[in-house]
Amino acid sequence: MLTELLQGSDAGGFIIIRDSASCSGRHLLKSFINAALNREEDVHVLGFEVSEEELKGSPVQRLHFHNAYSDPLGWTDKPTFTVHQFCMEELARLLKQTSHPKPATLVIDSLSWILRHVSPPAVCATLHQLRKGGAVRAIVALLHGDMHQRGTVGSVCHLASSVITVAPGMKGGDAVAKITKRSKSGKVVQDEDIFTINNDLTVVIQSKHSQVGHKQADPEEQEMDPTAHLTFNLRLSNKEREAKEKLALPFVFSKEKKTALLHSSPGSGRILYEPDANDDYDQEDPDDDLDV
């Protein structure tokens, strides 16, 4: 599923790459940027954590890097992009600067930086507005899962359409990506891929399934069909089936009797009874001799 996400087939998606101290997700983020550039899309990068030269070597035309690395909190007089500019109006203005007809892809490196300085409900509201507004085609964000409280990480990941959690793999260069994708209809698909990233930022998937030892119980192998090797015949031929259906079972009524019972005519048999003195039986006074 990692390749499908990289191809970016569905618009309006919000992908979160969740990494930790043991395995960095920045290489995967660079692969996403590369894939978007290869698709001839405009990419806007909000870079808080690494500088422009480190993120990509040579300048590329369709990649717009907004430098929030040098002065994110606005301590100097002329900051390029501060953390407090992460709101809908400023971002819309930023994205309108390029005159490309197609909506762009927004890459945020990293969301953790923003979450440290802006309250999570405001960040969630901005992300929600970005998705709904249609100003961007897709959002890819890097989130350091171990930097925040569980509730914060959970709330932000709840908004995402796909969450990729990277963890170190068994071998040296490998990493394991656990992907959870939520579609619009509410269906949740989970997958796990082992991948490596080459020098030219292409992703190579090693294998599909994880090799951690889940004992796969195979009950199908142990069950055999019990009717396979028998010395007597359990099947019916056509003639035998017809004969079986013709057989009159003992307690099944014939058709005439059934209709007679179902449509009982009104005057078939009525019991007329007038209760007489003997019916007036009192349990507590069986001989009827008490003078009450």
User: Do 224 and 211 contact (CB within 8 A), yes or no?
Assistant: no
Could you give the CA distance from residue 190 to residue 184 in angstroms, rounded to a whole number?
Answer: 15
Using the minimum distance from each CB to other proteins, give the nearer residue, 100 or 158: 158
Q: What is the footprint of other proteins within residues 241-260 (CB under 8 A)?
A: 252, 255, 258-259
7 in contact with other proteins (CB under 8 A): no
Contact with other proteins (CB under 8 A) among 3, 38, 190, 207:
190
Contacts with 72 (C-beta within 8 Å, 6 or more apart), sequence order:
48, 79, 81, 82, 83, 113, 117
Subset of residues 101 to 160 that bind other proteins, contact rule: CB under 8 A: 119-121, 124-125, 128-129, 132, 149-152, 154-156, 158-159
Residues 39 and 74 sit within 8 Å (Cβ to Cβ): no
At 140, phi and psi to the nearest 5? -125, 125
Residue 282 beta carbon to other proteins: minimum distance, rounded to whole angstroms = 5
Q: Which stretch binds other proteins (CB under 8 A): 16-24, 53-61, 195-203, 277-285?
A: 277-285
Q: Are 8 and 139 in contact (CB under 8 A)?
A: no
- List Cβ neighbours of 98 (8 Å cut-off, separation of 6 or more): 42, 44, 64, 104
Contact between 162 and 3 under an 8 Å Cβ cutoff? The reply is no
Residues 196-215 that bind other proteins (CB under 8 A): 214
**Count of residues binding other proteins (CB under 8 A)?**
43
Q: Give the binding site for other proteins (CB under 8 A).
A: 119-121, 124-125, 128-129, 132, 149-152, 154-156, 158-159, 180, 182, 186-188, 190, 214, 217, 219, 222, 252, 255, 258-259, 261-263, 275, 279-280, 282-285, 290, 292
